[in-house]
Amino acid sequence: MLDLTYDSPKPKVIAGAKHDWELVIGMEVHAQVSTNAKLFSGASTKFGAEPNSNVAFVDAGMPGMLPVINEECVAQAVRTGLGLKAEIHLNSAFDRKNYFYPDLPQGYQISQLYHPIVGEGEVLVELGDGTARTVRIERIHLEQDAGKSIHDMDPNMSFVDLNRTGVALMEIVSRPDIRGPEEAAAYIAKLRQIMRYLGTCDGNMQNGNLRADVNVSICRPGAYEKYMATQDFSHLGTRCEIKNMNSMRFIQQAIMIEAERQIRIVEGGGKVDQETRLYDPDKNETRSMRSKEEAHDYRYFPDPDLLPLEIEQAWVDEIAGKLPELPDAKKARFIDSFGLSDYDASVLTADAESAAYFEAV
């Protein structure tokens, strides 16, 4: 197989009024697991059903209802981890993350803070100009989705749809290795491509099945290299998180707008506050949503209704043996076997269906 080599892309540099600044970006991608049933109930995950029709008693937070783990959700998380060359943890556990939303009837979200099912991995992000960057994956954990609050159906009332409540999500957390808005979009596209090849997430961003929280900070040139040498975050600027982004274009716009906002604050002698922000595409601005919570704010504790999750290495090996050929390997094989250019191979392997059609004819 042909060994593809790339140059590392240069970081995005933004000229401020006084100094040049570089971007540092980390991402938390929420990918809806492709299964017929939810993470802890047998309720359907079908999109577009009548409001509140795909809701089991446990999803609605009814007293005395106990969660039961969906094995296929666990298998899909393992497949995703293997596809990202990540460590699979044979022992993991679920925690309760306590907070209030009107569309979170239990009053907590079942997640995996302390013991995630998938550990460190990586993904190669190609930019199409002969450059690529390896983005490190810190972890992947399973968690429940919340429901949906609807505010535009009545001028005086809001409505709640619990169909999405309890649907399984994989939260894929990257290291702060992304250095520009184009890289951020390419990273999302590559994750989406890999998961679609694996069949673990359909990647439908319009339906909210793939969305991202984008952590943006700025630093002076050379500071990131100091961070990489020491893994000391003090070399980087204070990060702000932009929540629930589900558009490649808006992700890029929001990153630039937020970076420019931080530069104005710092060069004006101010201090960037760590907080969660929302992006308004109509006004092309980010605005404060809330101060950034820490783990203790959510009062995490082990979920008393769920035993620690233990899986066998033989089961993981069985899943690994059935994985399809993934995009990077397929692209390299197309170049090596068919003499295709890097660009042509990238186009043909962009999705599994196109690649299969090409090979068939």
Do 216 and 242 meet the contact criterion of CB atoms below 8 Å apart?
A: yes
Specify the pLDDT at position 2. Answer: 40
Instruction: Summarize pLDDT for 136-145 with one digit per residue, the tens.
Output: 999 999 999 9
Residues 6 or more apart whose CB falls under 8 angstroms from that of 297 comprise none
* pLDDT band at residue 361 using 50, 70 and 90 as cut-offs: confident
Buried b / exposed e over 315-333, threshold 16 CB at 10 Å, is ebeebeeeeeebbbebbbb
Specify the pLDDT at position 7. Answer: 82
Q: What is the pTM of this model?
A: 0.93
Instruction: Summarize pLDDT for 223-264 with one digit per residue, the tens.
Output: 999 999 998 888 899 999 999 999 999 999 999 999 999 999
CA 296/CA 217 separation, integer angstroms? 23
Residues 6 or more apart whose CB falls under 8 angstroms from that of 208 comprise 32, 164, 246
Q: For residues 245 and 8, which has the higher predicted lDDT (pLDDT)?
A: 245
Residue 46 DSSP SS3: coil
The overall average pLDDT reported for the chain is 94
Specify the pLDDT at position 199. Answer: 97
Q: Put residue 231 in one of left, alpha, beta given phi > 0 → left and psi -120 to 50 → alpha.
A: left
pLDDT of 1 > 50? The answer is: no
* CA 344 to each of CA 150, 301, 335, 359: distance values in angstroms, whole numbers, following the listed order: 44, 50, 9, 13
Instruction: Summarize pLDDT for 179-214 with one digit per residue, the tens.
Output: 999 999 999 999 999 999 999 999 999 999 999 999
CA 192/CA 199 separation, integer angstroms? 10
Specify the pLDDT at position 87. Answer: 98
Alpha-helix runs per DSSP H in 4-120? 71-83
CA 75/CA 359 separation, integer angstroms? 29
CA 206/CA 216 separation, integer angstroms? 23
Specify the pLDDT at position 292. Answer: 62
Range in 32-36, 307-311, 343-347 with the lowest mean pLDDT: 343-347
pLDDT of 306 > 90? The answer is: yes
Specify the pLDDT at position 295. Answer: 61
CA 86/CA 160 separation, integer angstroms? 37
Do 26 and 163 meet the contact criterion of CB atoms below 8 Å apart?
A: no
Specify the pLDDT at position 184. Answer: 97
Residues 6 or more apart whose CB falls under 8 angstroms from that of 28 comprise 171, 172, 173, 174, 212, 213, 215, 241
pLDDT of 3 > 80? The answer is: no
Specify the pLDDT at position 169. Answer: 98
Radius of gyration in angstroms for the set of CA atoms belonging to the chain, rounded to a whole number: 21
CA 263/CA 203 separation, integer angstroms? 33
